[in-house]
Structure 1
Amino acid sequence: MTAQMVLTIGRDALSLLLMISMPVLAAVLAVGLIVSIFQAVTQIHEATLAFVPKLIAAMAVLALAGPWMLGLLVDFIRRTIESIPSMIG
């Protein structure tokens, strides 16, 4: 196993992590921005008003994109495990 192989696997893992986390982070960011604007306009500063919509948005995105995320993870793990013999030998 060369240093190039390790760097390639690490790069692929980090890009996969970014691709999988991006939908959840984007949804939570958008909901947080909307709630913050609502709180600024109405001058209601309740902590649960900021937390609960973000939690609901994250759960909704995970419910909708969860199978896609899991498929990407399974494919990456399968490719990594299948490439172990070529890395060792």
Structure 2
Amino acid sequence: MTAELAVSLIYEAVLTITLIVAVLIGPGMVVGLVVSVFQAATQINEQTLSFLPRLLATLGMIVFAGHWILERVLRLFEMIFTTIPGAIG
């Protein structure tokens, strides 16, 4: 296995992980910020109030972007498995 091949595989894996995490965590962060601003404006200091909207936003993104996430992961694994024979021999 050459160094270029190893670096490209690691790069693709890190890029895939970063994109998937950004898609799943980003909306939860935005919803958490909106709920925090609402809590600060109304002076409601309930910690559990922000949990449910963030959970629903994350689950909604899994449903909405699940096909894209699965496609991205499958493409990564396909690339890895097609480069294994060339890396061994």
Shorter-normalised TM range? over 0.9
1:80 maps to 80
With structure 2 as the length reference, what TM-score do the two structures score? 0.94
The Cα offsets for residues 3-56 of structure 1, whole Å up to 9 and x where unpaired, read as 221111111100111111111111011101100000000011111101111001
1:37 maps to 37
Secondary structure at the counterpart of residue 83 of structure 1: helix
How many angstroms apart in 2 are the aligned matches of 1:8 and 1:71?
19
Number of residue pairs matched? 89
With structure 1 as the length reference, what TM-score do the two structures score? 0.94
Greater Cα shift, 49-58 or 2-11: 2-11
Runs of 5+ unmatched residues, structure 2: none
2:2 maps to 2
**Stretches of 4+ aligned residues off by more than 3 angstroms:** none
How many angstroms apart in 1 are the aligned matches of 2:18 and 2:31?
20
Secondary structure at the counterpart of residue 7 of structure 2: helix
Greater Cα shift, 77-86 or 1-10: 1-10
CA RMSD, aligned part only? 0.9
Q: Which amino acid aligns with 1:79?
A: M
Runs of 5+ unmatched residues, structure 1: none
